[in-house]
A and B are shown apart, each in its own frame.
Chain A
């Protein structure tokens, strides 16, 4: 069964450093998403992406964040200058259409900022 994959599973970085979290969505999917979950808190929407541009972003997704689909298979989330409060689990998701009933979630990347 096709699945969304994410790498790395755990990333440790120092405050102020740039990180790139990588996702490989399901191959025929067209809509891509990033969510994050701070430990013990809700899963929060960050951004949705379609047709090589951002469809919607939340208040969390400020200028420090960017997303890219650098090739036909990867979908990345970049945090330019990490802060302690960026420590969270980051989930990538994809769906085959805006009207699809399901977004398929990856296993997540745990980001720890020290």
Chain B
């Protein structure tokens, strides 16, 4: 079945860049997303990329998509302590004619001061 995988933890120093990686299995996924979840909070959409794009930049965030390898990454430049959170990769599944999201396990980013 469809699946999305991520590494579980990432620790970086404040000011460094963070790169969070994700792989997915559904080659027909049209949209891929990055969500941020802070402790006790809901899912906040950070950014998304359409499957015909290779890269998308939005301020400190850069998303890279390698459709051949089904690999997605999120780079956060100049990481701040406020970026500490769980980051979820999600793929929009188009099987069965409906449009559910398949989420990864989430990557817990810890930013060290």
The yes or no answer to A18 lying at the interface (CB within 8 A) is no
Within 8 A of A (CB), among B29-83: 31, 33, 35, 41-43, 45, 48, 50
The yes or no answer to A81 lying at the interface (CB within 8 A) is no
Q: Nearest chain B CB to A60's CB is how many angstroms away?
A: 12
The yes or no answer to B9 lying at the interface (CB within 8 A) is no
The number of residues on chain B lying at the interface, defined by a beta carbon within 8 Å of a beta carbon of chain A, is 23
Count A/B pairs, Cβ under 8 Å: 54
A33, A99, A102: the one within 8 Å of B100 (CB): A33
| A101 B50 Cβ-Cβ under 8 A | yes
| B42 A55 Cβ-Cβ under 8 A | no
Closest Cβ neighbor of B50 among chain A residues:
A101
Closest Cβ neighbor of B100 among chain A residues:
A45
Can you list 10 residue pairs at the A/B interface with Cβ under 8 Å?
Answer: A33-B100, A42-B105, A45-B100, A48-B100, A56-B96, A98-B99, A102-B33, A105-B42, A108-B41, A108-B42
- A residues at B contact (CB < 8 Å): 31, 33, 35, 41-45, 48, 55-56, 91, 95, 98-99, 101-108
- B residues at A contact (CB < 8 Å): 31, 33, 35, 41-43, 45, 48, 50, 88, 90, 92, 96-106
